[in-house]
Each structure stands twice: as structure tokens, then as C-alpha cells.
Amino acid sequence: MTAILEARGVTRSFGPIEVLHGVDFSLVPGEIHALIGENGAGKSTMMKILGGYLAPTTGALMLDGKQVSFADQRAAEAAGILMIHQEFNLALQLTVEENLFLGREKRRGPFLDGRAMREEARTLLARLDCHVDPRRRIQDLSVPNRQMVEIARALGRQARVLIMDEPTAVLTGRETDVLLEQIERLKAQGTAILYTSHKLDEIARIADRVTVLRDGTHITTRPAEGFTEHAMAEAMVGRELSDLFPAKAKPGADVVLEVEGLTVPGYVRDASFTLRRGEVLGFAGLVGAGRTELMEGIVGLRPAQGTVRVNGTPLKPGSVRAAREAGLVYLTEDRKDKGLLLGKALTENLTLLALDTFGGVFIDPQAEDQALDQAIEEFDIRVKDRKLLAGSLSGGNQQKLLMAKTMLAKPQIVIIDEPTRGIDIGTKQQIYEFIAALAAQGKSVIVVSSELPEVIGLSSRVCVMGRGHIAAELSGAEITEDAILRRAMGVSETTGEPA
């Protein structure tokens, strides 16, 4: 079958730097073509070129066999090419149907034709098996439902080509399943789909063809069948990958953190657990189980009742600063909105948490510079220019910067929420090593993660949360995906009945 959309020998330069070197890529109707690569490999640039957001510097774009150049993304949209961004392009205050028809509202005379729009919105959502009332506001929807609205919006615009930038990055396992089913359905209807994800198991599951990019170069395009996840990872990284997870350190005996009967109103009730020196404690559970809220309650970012003791001393509630001074820090899952000041330079981000250790009355800029040198070295933050803004770093480098920032506060206990969200496999491995190294140094780490292999691979003990309370605590050989999932969903082992 001939390609709908094809890129031939596409290069793209930003100023003097070429980031794509002659990449070929094609999309055939009714196929899912996965584009994979590490952060910074050029995936986003490639997608933006195909979606009309960027023009190629050299090389050609072919639409239905004819050379085209899109003036902008609207021109690409008019040709049936739609890109779904990682950060949604939805107006939060508007309703589902208003979003679906934004910019192409149906009218009757000078007035909006509300009934026709609602009707069509329903049809579109029904096609996706998504039962959301079109009159609800986007801000009241869950993330997966927003994703569905975003896809419905693309469908409503008669998309022939759908470009999906890591659509499952923020979804849980079950939500991912639903989404992948919808994608399969779109494929069956003849839509050509470009799919990116860092989760290689998804790629193996749904892709027909896989293209690997590394450092802006096209490495290979192969049928997905027979392309193992391990082989994909190695093609992305360009070297052989050893074990993803480092060896687990043996935790010490003394308890450094005791949480007793902690209740975060509306999210968590009566959570109790302990953490020992040098231990990596995993927190698993479905999205919405209250893991993040529990951690935020512990460090004082949310109002909470109950006691938190660090080294036996009760922590002043409601004060992030007191927690930090006690050696307890929390690394947020939301690095873009809560972790880093994207519009500020690296140093300002790096030292913000531990700013009072940099000089007395006046901030010591030299000490800050040294700290950045050290962070770049220690955490392998790859930057071309130290004066860059934090927002211009790739996700992996942002995460490393966030870790460096947190570690500057010299914590004894580190809570890391989703340590590798949206991060490529090479960087993931590095972050796992940092976490293991922290534990080996005698610090204690709590890892909250929705990726089960991560929780299992890192932790010596796992707390499973379900619906706002700690449903189970597993250790040693008990820690299996199956056991965690069953506990998280509230299914008891023996009877299979809801607990």
C-alpha cells in the first residue's frame, strides 16, 4: 500500500546545530508505526515536522505521493494530519463539546447550533467508547478521559494521520489498555498512526512497524514482529544493556521514619508504616489510590492528621521547611509544574530548596556555580550551555536536575514520586543507580511508582495502596506483579472476592 505521509531525507537545523540528519519515515493507512528513541534523539522534532509545526530544513514531505510543504500546523490539519500532544491542547474551562468544536463551531445563521454539536460530540465519543457527558468541563475530567476528548477532537477533524506523542505517559495500566484498544480500532478504520512511547512493552504490543532514532539519525525501520523489547532498547541506546536494576542494598536495623495513623482528608485514611536506614521502600497502587497525597501529607505539603516521626522526633505538621530541616524531602512527580521553575536558569533551580546554605545574608554566586558543576558531574546532566533555562532541558535532564536540587538539601530520607516518568531507558537506568547508591550510602528512600517493574526492581519492601489506605505490605519473595495488583485492586488472595 502506498504511504499517506512520507518524509524523505529530512534534516532539521536550529541555528548552527543539526538535530535531524536525513531521516526517512513513512505512514501507511491502517498501520501503527512506532517512533522510538531516547530523550533528545529527535523524535519530537520529527513529529513536529510531520505535523506541520516545523518545516524541514532540507528533504521532502510527501502527502499521497505528492510533495507538500505545510505553512503551519493548521495547513497540516486541513490535510487530515493531527498531532496529539503530551500536554493536552484543551481549554480547561470549556466543556467537552466546546473543545471538540473549537475553531470550527457549527452555526445556524449567526448563532451556534448547540444541538447539532452535542449530537456529533456524542457520536464521536461513542466511537471511542468513552462515556463522558459532552457538557462537562475539561477541568473536571480525569486525565485518560481528557486524552479521549483529545482523540475525539482529532476524529472530528477527519484525521487520516494521527501523531501521538507518548499518550500513555500519564495513564495507569488499565487506562492504557483502554486507550490501546481505541487505537487498534482507529487503525482498523484505516487511520495511519504514528505512536511514541517510552514503554517498550506497549510498542511490542500494538506497533506494526518500528523506527528507531538515535542522536537525530535513522537507525532502523523494522516490522515489530520479531523485534524484542531488549533489541529495541539496545538499538535506542546504541550499546548493550546490562541489568536495568542495580543490586539491592541490605537495609539497616534502625527506624528513621515512622508514620502513624496519618489521614489526609479526602485522600488517605489512617496510614501507618516505617522506614529503616538504608532501605528502599516502594509504594505501589493505582492512580488515585492516594500515594502522592500521603507523601505530600507526610512532608507537610497537605493538611494531615496523625504523627510523623523522624529519628523518633515528631515532625512539625504543615511545614515543608521543618521536614527539610529534619532531613526529609519529597521529590514531586510533577517536575514541570511543581518541581522546576522552567523559565529560570539551572543554578536558580538547583539551589532553591537549599538556598540558605549558600551564603549568609547574601547569596554566594560562586558557591552556586560550584554546586552546578558538581551536580552536572555527579548526576550526569547533559547541557550544552550552563546558562540555559531549565525548561529547555529534556525530561531526563530535568529529572536529574530535580534530583540534584533535592540532594543539595542533604536529606536523610528522600521520597521520590514517579522517578522516571516520561524518561528514556538509558536515563532510567542511571536514575535507578542513583537511588540504589543513596540507599548504599545509608540514606533511606521511598519510591512511589506506577511502573510495577520499577517498584519491584528497586525496593526491598513494598507498601500497596488501594483507595486511600495501605492495603498490604510485601517483602522479599512476596513482591510480585501479581500480588501487588491483586492487593491494589482490593482482591484477596484466597477467595478472589473484593476484600
Partner 1 sequence: MTDTTVESDATPRRGALRLQTIGPVLALIALIILGASLNSNFLGYANVTNVLARSAFIGIIAIGMTFVITGGGIDLSVGSMAAFVAGVMIMTMNALIPVLGIGVPLVAAGMAVALLTGLAAGLLNGVLIAKVGIEAFIVTLGAMGVYRSLTTWLADGGTLSLNFDARSFYRPVYYDGLLGVPWPIIVFAVVAIVGEIAMRKTAYGRHCAALGANEQVARYSAVRVDAVRMSTYVLLGGLVGLATIMYVPRLGSASGSTGTLWELEAIAAVIIGGTVLKGGFGRVWGTVIGVLILSLIDNILNLASIVSPYLNGTIQGVIVILAVVLQRQGKSAD
Closest approach, Cβ 364 to partner 1, in A, equals 9
Distances (CA, A) of 223 to 181, 220, 241: 20, 10, 22
Q: How far is the CB of 68 from partner 1 (least distance, A)?
A: 22
CB nearer to partner 1: pick between 405 and 428? 405
In the bound state with partner 1, the residue whose beta carbon lies nearer, of 85 and 487, is 85
Q: Taking the complex as a whole, how short is the minimal distance between the CB of residue 416 and partner 1, in angstroms?
A: 13
Q: Which are the contacts of 22, defined by CB distance < 8 A and separation ≥ 6?
A: 9, 10, 11, 59, 217, 218
Burial state string for 93-111 with b = 16 or more CB within 10 A and e = fewer than 16? eebbbbbbbeeeeeeeeee
For residue 16, the minimal CB distance to partner 1 (Å) is 8
Residues 170 and 201: beta-carbon distance below 8 Å? no
Rounded Cα–Cα distance for residues 121 and 98 (Å): 9
What is the binding site for partner 1 (CB under 8 A)?
Answer: 14-17, 19, 39-45, 48, 54, 86, 216, 301, 320-321, 323-324, 330, 332, 334, 337-344, 348, 352-353, 355-356, 361-363, 384-385, 387-389, 391-395, 397, 405, 409, 422
- Considering the complex, state which of residue 115 and residue 321 has its C-beta at the smaller distance from partner 1: 321
Query: Shortest Cβ distance from residue 220 to partner 1 (Å)?
Result: 20
Look-up of cell digits 518500528: 210
Closest CB 46 distance from partner 1, rounded Å: 8
The least CB distance from residue 355 to partner 1, in Å, is 5
**3-state class of 308 per DSSP?**
strand
Pick the closer one to partner 1 by CB: 76 or 125: 76
Q: Which is nearer to partner 1, 125 or 310 (CB)?
A: 310
Residues 148, 489: Cα–Cα separation, whole Å: 24
Q: Which is nearer to partner 1, 182 or 427 (CB)?
A: 427
Whole-number Cα distances in Å, 263 to 266, 272, 417, 466:
9, 9, 19, 14
| Nearest distance, CB of residue 385 and partner 1, angstroms | 7
Nearer to partner 1, 52 or 422 (CB): 422
Strands (E), 80-150: 81-84, 107-108, 111-112
Distance (Å) of CA 154 to CA 161, 350, 450: 9, 39, 28
Going from the C-alpha of 42 to that of each of 20, 156, 206, 237, 391, the distances in angstroms are 6, 29, 22, 13, 17
Q: Which is nearer to partner 1, 289 or 346 (CB)?
A: 346
* Identity of the residue, 143 or 363, whose beta carbon is nearer to partner 1 in the bound complex: 363
Give me the phi and psi of 310, to 5 degrees please: -110, 120
**If 0-12 CB within 10 Å is exposed, 13-18 middle and 19+ buried, where does residue 228 land?**
exposed
Tell me the closest approach of the beta carbon of residue 107 to partner 1, in angstroms. Answer: 33
46: Cβ contacts below 8 Å, ≥ 6 apart? 7, 10, 20, 23, 25, 35, 213
What does the DSSP 8-state code read for residue 69? -
Instruction: Say which DSSP state 251 is in.
Output: P
